[in-house]
């Protein structure tokens, strides 16, 4: 593809305008040819502010009227399904916020539809584009291959949230009309009772980040040995689980608290040390995750420094490159549907009170 990648942008809320749109607008080899929001006035004002030629209130209308290579859809997961299906039928690549859907069945149907139409869906799991996270992955692979820290013995996920905005206040266009997207009916896995739909949405929306990061760093879990919520309906964000990877067990601690910082870390223990990565607040720009390596033989703490960069900007760049070069994204729907499946299996393990083998089928 020799011309600029032409993108139609869908979703002009806070994350749409202040995070994603601004990153695509700054790319020299990318052109935003249209914006869309169900609030037509908002779409028109955003288009006027940034000199974008067209504004729409319906993504179907936009797909019919605009020539583009891809659609970026920054919306809630329960409406991604229809948007991606429509983009696939129109022959357009798509980029959606995480999670890509509310059930693994919907997610797999979305993957099948994109493949059938020769396009892809990329999911915005931005942590995989954090330079510190990628450095940690490289180090883990190296020490596993060399054996210098001995065998892996245990993995730990600790995800307790906190202040994710970190003072970020990018100016954006607003209108009086409320965002209608939240009024759409929530989709849910077919095995789930209706009263669990909203708690499920709340858990999946946040903690799919944790499952995606652990799979990136250590590989796909093969078994859930234990999963427990004290109160899934009232406190869906508080879960304790034990998973098994190919060579170690992994404790999965999901929680939440009020804090002026962000509390998220991933740690892989070895016989003679560890590799740990601590993530920054998501909206803290140009700040990568912090990596620490402990070596016990000659006692030392090493803190290798990753390149400056913002994960959200890095993932936007990756999407444009994939559209331009015709390559599969690092966080394609073909991979990230597994995060929804894994969260579903945690839920089922809790409901049934027993472990579950993971087949990813």
This model's pTM is above 0.85: yes
- Segment 287-305 shows an average pLDDT of 97
Contacts for 51 with CB less than 8 Å, ≥ 6 apart: none
φ, ψ for residue 107 (rounded to 5)? -60, -45
pLDDT digits (tens, 9 = 90+) for 157-194: 999 999 999 999 988 999 999 888 767 788 899 999 99
Tokens of 313: 């900007």
- Of the chain, the percentage scoring pLDDT greater than 70 comes to 99
Which stretches within 28-130 are classed as H helix? 40-50, 59-65, 80-89, 104-116
Q: Are 5-127+314-333 and 128-309+340-357 the same fold in CATH? A: no
Q: Say whether pLDDT at 122 is over 70.
A: yes
128-309+340-357: CATH topology = Dihydrodipicolinate Reductase; domain 2 (3.30.360)
Tokens of 271: 């016989």
What would be the CATH architecture of the domain defined by 5-127+314-333? Answer: 3-Layer(aba) Sandwich (3.40)
- Segment 203-214 shows an average pLDDT of 97
Report the pLDDT value the prediction gives residue 3, as an integer from 0 to 100: 84
- Give residue 244's pLDDT band: very low, low, confident or very high (50, 70, 90): very high
CA-closest candidate to residue 136, choices 12, 301, 344, 279 = 279
Q: Domain coordinates of the chain in residue numbers?
A: 5-127+314-333, 128-309+340-357
Which stretches within the chain are classed as H helix? 14-15, 22-25, 40-50, 59-65, 80-89, 104-116, 131-146, 197-218, 311-325, 333-352
Report the pLDDT value the prediction gives residue 2, as an integer from 0 to 100: 61
Tokens of 257: 């608290």
Strand partners, 100: none
- Give residue 1's pLDDT band: very low, low, confident or very high (50, 70, 90): low
pLDDT digits (tens, 9 = 90+) for 261-292: 999 999 999 999 999 999 999 999 999 999 99
């Amino acid at each position: 593809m020799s011309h600029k990648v032409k993108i139609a942008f869908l979703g002009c809320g806070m994350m749409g305008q202040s995070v994603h749109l601004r990153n695509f607008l700054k790319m020299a080899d990318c052109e935003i040819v249209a914006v869309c929001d169900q609030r037509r006035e908002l779409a028109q004002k955003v288009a006027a502010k940034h000199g974008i030629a067209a504004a729409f209130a319906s993504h179907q209308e936009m797909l019919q009227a605009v020539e583009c290579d891809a659609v970026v859809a920054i919306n809630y997961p329960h409406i991604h399904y229809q948007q991606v299906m429509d983009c696939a039928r129109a022959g357009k690549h798509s980029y959606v916020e995480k999670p890509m859907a509310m059930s693994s069945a919907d997610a797999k149907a979305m993957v099948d539809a994109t493949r059938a139409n020769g396009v892809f869906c990329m999911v915005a799991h931005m942590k995989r584009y954090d330079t510190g996270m990628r450095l940690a992955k490289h180090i883990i692979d190296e020490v596993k291959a060399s054996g210098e820290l001995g065998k892996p013995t245990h993995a730990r996920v600790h995800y307790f949230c906190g202040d994710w905005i970190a003072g970020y206040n990018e100016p954006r266009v607003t209108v009086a009309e409320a965002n209608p997207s939240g009024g759409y009916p929530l989709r849910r896995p077919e095995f789930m009772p209706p009263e669990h739909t909203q708690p499920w949405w709340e858990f999946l929306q946040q903690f799919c980040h944790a499952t995606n990061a652990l799979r990136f760093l250590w590989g796909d879990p093969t078994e859930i040995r234990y999963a427990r919520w004290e109160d899934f309906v009232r406190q869906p964000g508080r879960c304790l689980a034990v998973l098994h990877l190919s060579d170690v067990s992994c404790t999965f601690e999901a929680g939440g608290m009020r804090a002026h910082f962000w509390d998220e870390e991933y740690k892989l223990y070895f016989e003679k040390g560890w590799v740990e990565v601590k993530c920054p607040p998501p909206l803290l720009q140009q700040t990568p995750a912090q990596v620490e390596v402990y070596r016990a033989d000659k006692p030392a703490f090493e803190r290798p420094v990753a390149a400056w960069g913002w994960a959200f900007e890095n993932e936007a760049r990756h999407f444009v490159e994939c559209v331009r070069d015709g390559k599969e994204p690092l966080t394609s729907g073909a991979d990230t549907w597994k995060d929804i499946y894994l969260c579903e299996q945690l839920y089922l393990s809790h409901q049934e009170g027993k472990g579950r083998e993971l087949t990813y089928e």
